[in-house]
């Protein structure tokens, strides 16, 4: 039994029977994993304490590039040391994840981040301690390894759970299958977590724009009303905070097919934040902004003025809580919102209202008010925030 | 008895109210009828609490204590290494016989009746010399209490030399006349001859006597109660052994258990010198008495010869200030002159008395004494240089022991059952607090809870199963958090067991900030932890708060010295605790690192196909380098074994016992071998369980500490 446990780390995933041909990207990733490992031998050989410098993924190390209008990661790093009480375990975990990815590349397979978590989780020999207790412990280590090796997640042969759907006037090829997004029924096409050109190729596009909504429920409304057909567009949602796959797809639609992206999100700090992530990139993944951020994305609504503008009744408002107010004030100070008068007014108005509104609230005005009036009107009047 | 009856009769004749009439006012005549001499003995019969006979339990202790203190004083004065036999036997309901024998110089025949049958008769009151007894009350008061409560006389056997007979007296004190009454040998006492005849006599009459060349045995029968725990005879003897490492005590308790506290050194303490009083230390009344008693003809010669530190020049200054002639006749000095003389003394600058008359125990012997009796990992001692309060030289010493097992941890089932049976406390919780030293209320609650006992359950009525549960709880509940400092107070090597709260020693300990030495302490209470502190004040005249010699009075000079001594010991404890913590932490760190090294080595070698074993070895080396402190072995003086000049070092006054060794000595139930210097014989002592740290008591004064 014990023997089996011991071999887990070394051999997972099972060694390939046929030699796997490494792509150029794989070779590059492999060499950075190798450099990481060699660093440990080198330090130990000279009786030094091994350590790695991990680019810091905090707000303080994120800069807003005003000309590119995206978030970029700065140069500061955090040193993670093996011989430091608070860092020893995460240092060990970093190397386990690197080793796990090496195994995936060797085998020419991809796995989910949950899969990798199981691959690197085991009981440390001679103790009752687990290398990882929960997946939430492993996920940030994976992100650390990404920035440490400056490799993208897919280059490490990893993907996240997919979230988000798409319908509309687009035909694409996904791993060889042709998919007509206008023929997806009520469920839509699930956006994969890896949407790189090797996997997804755009074949034909009649759409003139992309409408991205916050969540599944709102997306269903638009799909049922065949909004994408009437307005000749592509309809996506990200199930809340959009995953990397969704963001990367939006980026490609915008960048390669030159489709403008419009967002319909809740009127609350969370909605503002989602917009901010789509547009500028996220703090945590600032290193990915350049291939994910859509600086051109527009914010259609909901707006703080909609309560008055749409004549909503009090029963649909949700009071802000202390946390909401704090978040709103923080977002107001983001460098990319700070200089925009319209945004300042928008956020101030919400604070003044002291309530938030969900997109679903518009149903008060009619089941399809949002698809037949609210959005078409905004588009027509080019009434959005930028 | 007779006194009480008598006074009752006296009162009735004059002051009893007539039925139906107003209480008659006393007149000068009626009062005169009641006014008469009060003999000292009579006075103390009525005020025996002042002498430590407040209740039967304390009476037992005081009796043993007075006899033992006298024996030690006598042996030391005669330069004899003291060996004592203490025996307590039950003789009936609430009646005990206490016998104390020493190997001292013995007492001359004609002195015996006076010493044991007359209050305020002694050799120590009139002199200023460091000794245990000082008032001349002790043993005769014990004897008086015994006679009073049992009607049995005090028995004294004393032998002054190999060739002399054993003087045997049965005495009781005539409280009204403050005079001894000799009951045996037709009022003359009996001399038991040496040799076979004497031995036969002893045998025939059932006299207890350990055969020896010289020594004294005192036997007193009294009404008493025997209960172990705080304030008990057992505690007193144990504490005496700590502060008197040159003494051997053989003790047989009322249940017949024998315990021997063997001496830890054969070195006698240095002999204290007698000094004349310093002018500053003399009260006005005492000055008047000295003037009346002196044979010195002139004021100047009186001042120069009856006091220390008074030169003819100083005498002249005093006389000038008092506007008296240096040649005034001492016989002519009246109340007014004495008063101005007293004022003049206070106003004149007189140098402090010489302090070489004080004999401290010494750091070395404090360490030995503590180590012999108190289990621990760390011991330190600090002896302050002598100082002076009100013209009286004194010296403060502190010993400190840290760590070790608590009494609750190694208690046996039998002992616990005994203790539970003996106690008359009402709840198990109270029983725990009062039985085990240093066990706070909080810990007691935890133990009661752990044993699943009710908080109101009576300790004497526990079922066998419940006793079992209590025993288990005692040994399993961790005490270190709930344990509080145990304080052992001594004055001239005599343990002080009562009135903690009133004592300058306790007050100074409470006022010391122990937090800065790594102990936890809430404000105004004793610090927590497995720690024992002994504090000794040696002086030619210890300022007690009362005649029962239970608490030291708070003179600022004394408090200052106490504080400095406690701080010196505390600082060393702080260094030890910090150092130990660091070593421990580093050890924990290394374990943590080592745990992950294997994983790192496996991952790395798997990635780059390097040799796992080699890498692992290299990483372990780095880890060891990084946590080198964990390898530190501290030697018995607390120094690093590899020299590190950077580190503060302990002096000679520290002993560190490695925990393994401490445990070892506990398991063997024998004291750890003290680090004996060559030439010193160290005998191990056989200890019964009753000598382990435990105690019990009902006196209210304990509550002040809780
Ligand atoms: N065991 C003994 N051997 C020799 N002498 C003794 C012994 N016990 C008492 N004495 C003498 O008898 C005297 C009186 O003893 P007692 O205990 O009454 O008073 P004390 O010790 O002088 O003062 P205190 O009242 O403080 O005890 C002592 O001063 C001492 O000289
Ligand atoms: Mg005495």
Instruction: Determine which one of A117, A118, A262, A272 is catalytic.
Output: A118
Q: Which helix (H) or strand (E) holds A103?
A: helix A88-107
Which residues lie across from A267 on neighbouring strands?
Answer: A357
Pocket test residue of B133, B540, B549 for ligand 1, highest count of atoms within 8 A of CB: B133
Residue range B477-501: mean pLDDT, rounded:
84
Q: Which helix (H) or strand (E) holds B690?
A: none
Give residue A10's pLDDT band: very low, low, confident or very high (50, 70, 90): very low
Task: In whole angstroms, give the CA distance from residue B333 to residue B330.
Answer: 5
Judge residue A91's burial from the number of C-beta atoms within 10 Å of its C-beta, 0-12 exposed, 13-18 middle, 19 or more buried: buried
Task: In whole angstroms, give the CA distance from residue B471 to residue A242.
Answer: 63
Give residue B126's pLDDT band: very low, low, confident or very high (50, 70, 90): low
Q: Which residues contact A226 (CB under 8 A, 6 or more apart)?
A: none
Task: In whole angstroms, give the CA distance from residue B604 to residue A95.
Answer: 7
Question: How far away, in angstroms, is B140 Cα from ligand 2 center?
Answer: 9
Q: How far is A10 from chain B (nearest CA, A)?
A: 6
Tally C-beta pairs within 8 A across A and B. 86
Task: Take residue B220 and report the two structure tokens written for it.
Answer: 């007193």
Query: If you average pLDDT over every residue of chain B, what do you get?
Result: 81
pLDDT in tens, B37-66: 666 667 767 777 777 888 899 999 999 999
Give residue B668's pLDDT band: very low, low, confident or very high (50, 70, 90): very low
**Does B113 sit behind a cis peptide bond, omega within 30 degrees of 0 on the bond before it?**
no
- Cβ count within 10 A of residue A28: 14
Q: So what's the pLDDT on residue B36?
A: 66
Q: So what's the pLDDT on residue B457?
A: 84
Nearest CA to ligand 1 atom 2: B71
Which residue did the predictor score with more confidence, B435 or A88?
Answer: A88
Q: Which helix (H) or strand (E) holds B340?
A: helix B335-347
> Residue holding tokens 């007189």?
B350
Q: So what's the pLDDT on residue B547?
A: 73
In this structure, which ligand is nearest to the CA of B119?
A: 1
| Phi and psi torsions of B109, nearest 5° | -50, -50
Which residue did the predictor score with more confidence, B447 or A254?
Answer: A254
Q: What CATH architecture is A165-380?
A: 3-Layer(aba) Sandwich (3.40)
Which residue did the predictor score with more confidence, A13 or B322?
Answer: B322
Task: In whole angstroms, give the CA distance from residue A370 to residue B624.
Answer: 68
Q: Where are the alpha helices (DSSP H) in B627-673?
A: 659-667
Q: So what's the pLDDT on residue B16?
A: 42
Using left for φ > 0, alpha for ψ between -120 and 50, and beta otherwise, residue B638 falls in: left
Q: So what's the pLDDT on residue B332?
A: 85
Residue range A189-201: mean pLDDT, rounded:
90
Nearest neighbour of B615 by CB, restricted to A41, A83, A98: A41
Residue range A313-318: mean pLDDT, rounded:
90
> Residue holding tokens 């025997």?
B226
* Count of alpha carbons within 13 angstroms of residue B258, beta-carbon side: 8
Signed CA dihedral, B551, B555, B559, B562: sign only: negative
Residue A39's closest chain B neighbor by CA?
A: B604
Given CB atoms, is A107 within the 8 Å cutoff of chain B?
A: no
B618–A33 CB contact, under 8 Å: no
Task: In whole angstroms, give the CA distance from residue B415 to residue B412.
Answer: 5
Give residue B8's pLDDT band: very low, low, confident or very high (50, 70, 90): very low
Give residue B24's pLDDT band: very low, low, confident or very high (50, 70, 90): low
Residue B505: name the closest of B525, B479, B534 by CA. B534
The pLDDT > 70 percentage for chain B reads 82
pLDDT at B215 over 90: yes
Highest mean pLDDT among B127-136, B180-189, B442-451, B630-639: B180-189
Which fold, A24-159?
Arc Repressor Mutant, subunit A (1.10.10)
Domain ranges of chain A: 24-159, 165-380
A157 within 8 A of A142, measured Cβ to Cβ: no
B231 within 8 A of B697, measured Cβ to Cβ: yes
Burial pattern A281-318, b for ≥16 Cβ within 10 A else e, equals bbbbbbbbbebbbbbebbbbbbbbebbeebebeeebbe
- Contact residues, chain B, for A121 at CB < 8 Å: none
Question: Which of A35, A95, A128 to mutate to test binding with chain B, by most B CBs within 10 Å of its CB?
Answer: A95
Residue A48's closest chain B neighbor by CA?
A: B622
Task: In whole angstroms, give the CA distance from residue B232 to residue B63.
Answer: 12
Residue range A282-311: mean pLDDT, rounded:
89
Separation of first and last alpha carbons in chain A = 60
Residue B490: name the closest of B533, B457, B537 by CA. B537
Q: So what's the pLDDT on residue B87?
A: 97
Task: In whole angstroms, give the CA distance from residue A69 to residue A340.
Answer: 13
The mean-pLDDT minimum among B66-75, B243-252, B451-460 falls in B451-460
Stretch(es) of chain B classified as CATH 1.10.8.50: 279-347, 407-476
Signed CA dihedral, B399, B403, B404, B407: sign only: positive
Signed CA dihedral, B332, B335, B339, B345: sign only: positive
Q: Which helix (H) or strand (E) holds B362?
A: none
B451 within 8 A of B433, measured Cβ to Cβ: no
Which residue did the predictor score with more confidence, B696 or B526?
Answer: B526
Q: So what's the pLDDT on residue A17?
A: 55
Q: How far is B612 from chain A (nearest CA, A)?
A: 10
The mean-pLDDT minimum among B27-31, B278-282, B521-525, B612-616 falls in B27-31
Residue range B641-650: mean pLDDT, rounded:
47
**Which A residues, 36 through 75, put their C-beta within 8 Å of a C-beta on chain B?**
36-38, 40-41, 43-45, 47-50
Given CB atoms, is B585 within the 8 Å cutoff of chain A?
A: no
Question: Which of B582, B607, B610, B625 to mutate to test binding with chain A, by most A CBs within 10 Å of its CB?
Answer: B607
Give residue B632's pLDDT band: very low, low, confident or very high (50, 70, 90): low
pLDDT at A225 over 70: yes
Nearest CA to ligand 1 atom 13: B122
* Count of alpha carbons within 13 angstroms of residue B687, beta-carbon side: 26
Nearest CA to ligand 1 atom 9: B70
Question: How far away, in angstroms, is B122 Cα from ligand 1 center?
Answer: 6
Task: In whole angstroms, give the CA distance from residue B497 to residue B295.
Answer: 42
**Which one-letter DSSP state was computed for residue A123?**
B
Given CB atoms, is B606 within the 8 Å cutoff of chain A?
A: yes
B596–A50 CB contact, under 8 Å: no
Q: So what's the pLDDT on residue B37?
A: 63
pLDDT at B461 over 80: yes
pLDDT at B696 over 50: no
Q: Where does ligand 1 bind, in terms of residues with CB under 6 Å?
A: B 66, 70-71, 74, 102, 104, 107, 115, 121-124, 133-140, 216
The mean-pLDDT minimum among A114-118, B41-45, B186-190 falls in B41-45
A275 is catalytic: no
Which fold, B279-347?
Helicase, Ruva Protein; domain 3 (1.10.8)
Residue A284: name the closest of A268, A273, A300 by CA. A273
- Contact residues, chain B, for A89 at CB < 8 Å: 596
- Contact residues, chain B, for A50 at CB < 8 Å: 600, 619, 622
SS3 A190: strand
Q: So what's the pLDDT on residue B138?
A: 81
> Residue holding tokens 């002139």?
B298
pLDDT in tens, A346-362: 999 999 999 999 999 99
Judge residue B587's burial from the number of C-beta atoms within 10 Å of its C-beta, 0-12 exposed, 13-18 middle, 19 or more buried: middle
Task: Take residue B302 and report the two structure tokens written for it.
Answer: 């009186």
A88–B593 CB contact, under 8 Å: yes
Which residue did the predictor score with more confidence, B439 or A91?
Answer: A91
Question: How far away, in angstroms, is A180 Cα from ligand 1 center?
Answer: 116
Q: So what's the pLDDT on residue A201?
A: 94
pLDDT at B176 over 70: yes
A37–B603 CB contact, under 8 Å: yes
Task: Take residue B636 and report the two structure tokens written for it.
Answer: 């018995």
Task: In whole angstroms, give the CA distance from residue A149 to residue A161.
Answer: 22
Given CB atoms, is B591 within the 8 Å cutoff of chain A?
A: no
Give residue B480's pLDDT band: very low, low, confident or very high (50, 70, 90): low
CA–CA distance from B635 to each of A83, A217, B45 (Å)? 28, 74, 57
Residue range A150-163: mean pLDDT, rounded:
86
B600–A95 CB contact, under 8 Å: yes
pLDDT in tens, B67-79: 999 999 999 999 9
Q: What CATH architecture is B407-476?
A: Orthogonal Bundle (1.10)
pLDDT at B694 over 80: no
Nearest neighbour of A10 by CB, restricted to B589, B606, B621: B606
Highest mean pLDDT among A144-158, A314-328, B89-103: B89-103
Which fold, B46-261?
Heat Shock Protein 90 (3.30.565)
Nearest neighbour of A127 by CB, restricted to B595, B608, B623: B595
pLDDT at B533 over 90: yes
B78 within 8 A of B213, measured Cβ to Cβ: no
Task: In whole angstroms, give the CA distance from residue B573 to residue B379.
Answer: 8
Which residue did the predictor score with more confidence, B672 or A13?
Answer: A13
Question: How far away, in angstroms, is B214 Cα from ligand 2 center?
Answer: 19
CA angle A35, A40, A43 (to 5 degrees): 115
Q: So what's the pLDDT on residue B3?
A: 38
Q: How far is B603 from chain A (nearest CA, A)?
A: 6
Q: So what's the pLDDT on residue A150?
A: 87
pLDDT in tens, A228-247: 999 999 999 999 889 889 99
Query: If you average pLDDT over every residue of chain A, what do you get?
Result: 89
pLDDT in tens, B355-407: 778 889 999 999 988 887 787 889 999 999 988 898 889 999 999 999 865 55
B596–A88 CB contact, under 8 Å: yes
**Which one-letter DSSP state was computed for residue B24?**
P
Which residues lie across from A159 on neighbouring strands?
Answer: A112
pLDDT in tens, A339-349: 899 999 999 99
Task: Take residue A254 and report the two structure tokens written for it.
Answer: 């915008």
Q: So what's the pLDDT on residue B674?
A: 36
Give the β-pairing of A189-190 and A51-55: unpaired
Question: How far away, in angstroms, is B14 Cα from ligand 2 center?
Answer: 41
> Residue holding tokens 């701080």?
B567
In this structure, which ligand is nearest to the CA of B71?
A: 1
Q: How far is B572 from chain A (nearest CA, A)?
A: 29
| Phi and psi torsions of A237, nearest 5° | -145, 160
Maximum separation of any 2 CA atoms in chain A, in Å: 73
Radius of gyration of chain A (CA): 23
Residue A92's closest chain B neighbor by CA?
A: B600
Residue B158: name the closest of B109, B97, B115 by CA. B109
Nearest neighbour of A47 by CB, restricted to B592, B610, B622: B622
Task: Take residue A162 and report the two structure tokens written for it.
Answer: 């997919």
| Phi and psi torsions of B621, nearest 5° | -60, -45
Give residue B647's pLDDT band: very low, low, confident or very high (50, 70, 90): very low
């Amino acid at each position: 039994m014990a023997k089996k446990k011991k071999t887990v780390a070394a051999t997972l995933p099972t060694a390939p029977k046929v030699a796997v041909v490494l792509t150029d990207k794989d070779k590059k990733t492999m060499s950075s994993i190798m450099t990481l490992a060699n660093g440990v031998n080198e330090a130990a050989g000279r009786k030094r304490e091994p350590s790695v410098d991990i680019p810091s993924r905090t707000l303080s190390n994120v800069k807003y590039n005003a000309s590119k209008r995206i978030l970029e990661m700065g140069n500061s790093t955090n040193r993670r040391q093996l011989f430091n009480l608070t860092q020893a375990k995460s240092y060990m975990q970093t190397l386990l994840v690197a080793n796990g990815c090496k195994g995936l590349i060797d085998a020419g397979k991809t796995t989910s981040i949950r899969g990798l978590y199981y691959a690197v989780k085991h009981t440390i020999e001679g103790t009752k301690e687990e290398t990882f207790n929960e997946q939430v412990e492993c996920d940030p280590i994976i992100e650390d390894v990404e920035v440490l090796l400056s490799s993208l997640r897919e280059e490490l042969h990893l993907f996240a759970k997919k979230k988000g759907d798409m319908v509309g006037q687009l035909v694409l090829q996904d791993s060889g299958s042709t998919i007509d997004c206008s023929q997806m029924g009520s469920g839509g096409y699930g956006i994969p977590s890896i949407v790189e050109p090797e996997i997804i190729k755009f074949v034909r596009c009649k759409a003139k724009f992309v409408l991205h909504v916050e969540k599944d429920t709102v997306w269903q409304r638009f799909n049922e009303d065949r909004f994408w057909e009437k307005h000749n567009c592509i309809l996506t949602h990200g199930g809340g905070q959009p995953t990397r796959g969704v963001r990367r797809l939006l980026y490609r639609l915008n960048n390669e097919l030159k489709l403008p992206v419009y967002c319909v999100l809740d009127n609350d700090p969370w909605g503002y934040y989602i917009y901010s992530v789509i547009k500028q990139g996220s703090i945590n993944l600032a290193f990915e902004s350049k291939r994910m951020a859509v600086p051109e994305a527009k914010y259609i609504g909901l707006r703080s003025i909609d309560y008055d503008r749409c004549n909503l009744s009090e029963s649909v408002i949700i009071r802000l809580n202390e946390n909401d107010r704090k978040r709103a004030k923080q977002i107001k100070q983001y460098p990319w919102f700070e200089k925009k008068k319209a945004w300042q007014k928008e956020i101030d108005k919400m604070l003044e209202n002291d309530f938030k509104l969900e997109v679903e609230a518009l149903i008060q005005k009619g089941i399809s008010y949002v698809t037949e009036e609210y959005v078409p009107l905004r588009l027509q009047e080019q009434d959005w925030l930028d | 008895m007779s006194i009480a009856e008598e006074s009752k009769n006296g009162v009735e004749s004059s002051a009893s109210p007539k039925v139906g009439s107003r209480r008659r006012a006393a007149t000068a005549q009626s009062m005169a009828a009641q006014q008469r001499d009060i003999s000292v003995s009579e006075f103390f019969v009525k005020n025996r609490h002042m002498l430590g006979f407040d209740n039967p339990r304390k009476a037992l202790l005081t009796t043993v204590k007075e006899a033992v203190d006298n024996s030690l004083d006598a042996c030391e004065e005669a330069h004899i290494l003291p060996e004592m036999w203490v025996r307590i036997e039950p003789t009936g309901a609430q009646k005990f016989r206490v016998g104390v024998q020493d190997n001292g110089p013995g007492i001359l025949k004609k002195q015996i009746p006076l010493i044991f049958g007359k209050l305020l008769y002694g050799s120590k009151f009139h002199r200023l010399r460091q000794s245990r007894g000082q008032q001349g009350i002790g043993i005769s008061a014990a004897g008086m209490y015994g006679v009073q409560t049992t009607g049995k006389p005090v028995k004294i056997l004393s032998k002054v030399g190999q060739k002399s007979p054993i003087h045997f007296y049965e005495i009781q004190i005539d409280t009204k006349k403050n005079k001894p009454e000799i009951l045996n040998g037709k009022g003359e006492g009996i001399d038991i001859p040496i040799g076979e005849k004497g031995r036969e006599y002893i045998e025939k009459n059932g006299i207890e006597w350990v055969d020896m060349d010289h020594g004294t045995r005192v036997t007193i029968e009294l009404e008493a109660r025997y209960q172990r725990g705080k304030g008990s005879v057992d505690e007193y003897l144990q504490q005496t052994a700590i502060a008197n490492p040159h003494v051997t005590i053989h003790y047989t308790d009322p249940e017949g258990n024998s315990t021997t506290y063997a001496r830890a050194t054969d070195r006698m303490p240095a002999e204290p010198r007698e000094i004349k009083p310093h002018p500053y230390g003399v009260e006005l009344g005492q000055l008047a008495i000295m003037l009346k008693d002196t044979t010195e003809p002139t004021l100047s010669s009186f001042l120069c010869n009856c006091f220390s530190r008074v030169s003819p020049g100083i005498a002249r200054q005093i006389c000038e200030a008092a506007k008296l002639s240096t040649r005034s006749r001492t016989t002519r000095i009246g109340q007014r002159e004495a008063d101005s003389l007293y004022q003049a003394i206070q106003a004149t600058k007189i140098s402090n008395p010489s302090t070489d008359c004080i004999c401290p125990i010494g750091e070395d012997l404090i360490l030995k004494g503590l180590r012999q009796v108190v289990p621990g990992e760390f011991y330190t001692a600090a002896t302050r240089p002598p100082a002076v309060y009100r013209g009286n030289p004194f010296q403060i010493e502190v010993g400190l022991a840290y760590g070790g097992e608590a009494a609750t941890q190694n208690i046996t089932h039998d002992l616990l059952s005994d203790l539970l049976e003996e106690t008359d406390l009402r709840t198990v919780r109270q029983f725990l607090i009062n039985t085990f030293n240093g066990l706070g209320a909080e810990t007691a609650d935890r133990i009661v809870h752990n044993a699943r006992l009710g908080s109101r359950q009576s300790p004497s009525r526990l079922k066998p199963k419940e006793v079992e549960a209590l025993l288990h709880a005692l040994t399993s509940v961790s005490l270190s958090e709930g344990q509080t400092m145990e304080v052992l107070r001594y004055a001239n090597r005599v343990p002080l067991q009562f009135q903690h709260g009133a004592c300058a020693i306790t007050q100074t300990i409470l006022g010391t900030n122990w937090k800065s030495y790594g102990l936890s302490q809430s404000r105004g209470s004793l610090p927590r932890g497995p720690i024992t502190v002994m504090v000794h004040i040696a002086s030619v005249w210890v300022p007690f708060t009362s005649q029962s010699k239970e608490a030291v009075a708070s003179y600022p000079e004394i408090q200052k010295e106490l504080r400095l001594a406690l701080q010196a010991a505390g600082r060393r404890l702080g260094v030890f605790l910090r150092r130990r913590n660091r070593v421990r932490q580093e050890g924990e760190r290394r374990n943590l690192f080592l745990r992950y090294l294997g994983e790192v080595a496996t991952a790395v070698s798997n990635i780059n196909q390097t040799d796992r074993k080699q890498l692992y070895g290299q990483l372990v080396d780095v880890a060891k380098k990084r946590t080198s402190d964990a390898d530190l072995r501290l030697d018995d003086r607390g120094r690093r074994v590899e020299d590190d000049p950077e580190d503060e070092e302990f002096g000679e006054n520290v002993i560190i016992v490695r925990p393994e060794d401490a445990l070892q000595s506990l398991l063997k139930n024998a004291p750890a071998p003290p680090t004996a210097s060559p030439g010193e014989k160290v005998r191990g002592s056989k200890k019964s369980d009753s000598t382990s740290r435990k105690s019990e008591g009902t006196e209210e004064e304990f509550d002040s500490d809780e």
